[in-house]
């Protein structure tokens, strides 16, 4: 099989970006759902929608991070690991998008910005080599796991459908982090983790409303 050219890689990256940000998300797995929708108050519905909008924006960012890292991955095995994780994150994106529609809400209006910024971060991480890139995956997933744990505690008690989605997402994120560690992830310097946390806080606080 012929190797892809730089132009092929650029066109593929552009296609992934357009699909992630503008096309309706599609999942390869059924949306986790415990049963019929429970009645939510208007305030609970708005709050749940805000949380799910944050999680949808996070999945847009996750797509971009993995796509950027895969674009510059040095080893085929690393690239395949990243793209496999991105495909599972695409399920999360579709699940959150469907849940937002059920709640009568919409995704973040700033999703193109979240994607562009995360793509830049992902490609930058990949320039330091595959082990550093995998370390970035492990740290990202560790932080996302904590973020999802927090959101599970903040969901309205009767919103079992959103809860089922977040629990399934959390299990996948743990698995992604473990896979990256097993593949040889390097430990990141402490300031990098803090910078990642600060960036995530900006996105989560903004996406809840916009």
What is the Rg, in whole angstroms, of the alpha carbon atoms belonging to the chain?
17
Contact (Cβ atoms closer than 8 angstroms) between residue 206 and residue 117: no
Mind listing the pLDDT tens digit for each residue in 164-186? 999 999 999 999 999 999 988 88
Q: Percentage of the chain with pLDDT > 70?
A: 87
Better pLDDT: 199 or 134: 134
Domain residue spans in the chain? 40-207
Contact (Cβ atoms closer than 8 angstroms) between residue 148 and residue 166: yes
Helix (H) or strand (E) holding 101: helix 76-102
Mind listing the pLDDT tens digit for each residue in 17-32? 555 565 566 777 888 8
Q: Mean pLDDT over residues 138-149, rounded?
A: 90
Q: Mean pLDDT over residues 59-64, rounded?
A: 87
pTM summary value:
0.85
CATH of domain 40-207: 1.20.1260.10
Work out the pLDDT band at 1, boundaries 50, 70, 90. very low
DSSP state of 23: S
Q: Percentage of the chain with pLDDT > 90?
A: 38
Q: What is the mean pLDDT of the chain?
A: 85
Phi/psi for 133 (5° steps) reads -65, -40
Q: Mean pLDDT over residues 193-198, rounded?
A: 76
Rounded CA-CA distance 107/56 in Å is 7
Of 148, 129, 133, 128, nearest to 59 by C-alpha is 148
Helix (H) or strand (E) holding 65: helix 42-71
């Amino acid at each position: 099989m012929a190797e892809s050219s730089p132009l092929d890689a650029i066109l593929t990256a552009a296609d992934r970006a357009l699909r992630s940000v503008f096309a309706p998300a599609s999942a390869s797995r059924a949306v986790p759902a415990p049963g019929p929708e429970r009645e939510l108050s208007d305030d609970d519905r708005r709050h749940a929608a805000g949380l799910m909008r944050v999680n949808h924006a996070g999945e847009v960012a996750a797509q971009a991070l993995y796509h950027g890292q895969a674009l510059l991955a040095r080893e085929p095995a690393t690239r395949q690991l990243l793209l496999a994780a991105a495909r599972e994150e695409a399920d999360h994106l579709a699940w959150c998008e469907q849940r937002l529609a059920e709640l009568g809400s919409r995704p973040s209006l700033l999703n193109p910005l979240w994607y562009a910024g995360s793509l830049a971060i992902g490609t930058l991480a990949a320039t330091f080599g595959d082990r550093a890139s995998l370390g970035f995956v492990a740290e990202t997933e560790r932080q996302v796991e904590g973020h999802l744990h927090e959101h599970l505690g903040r969901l309205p008690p009767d919103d079992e459908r959103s809860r089922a989605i977040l629990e399934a997402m959390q299990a996948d994120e743990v698995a992604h982090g473990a896979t990256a560690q097993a593949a040889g992830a390097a430990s990141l310097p402490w300031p990098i983790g803090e910078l990642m946390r600060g960036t995530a806080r900006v996105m989560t606080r903004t996406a809840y409303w916009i």
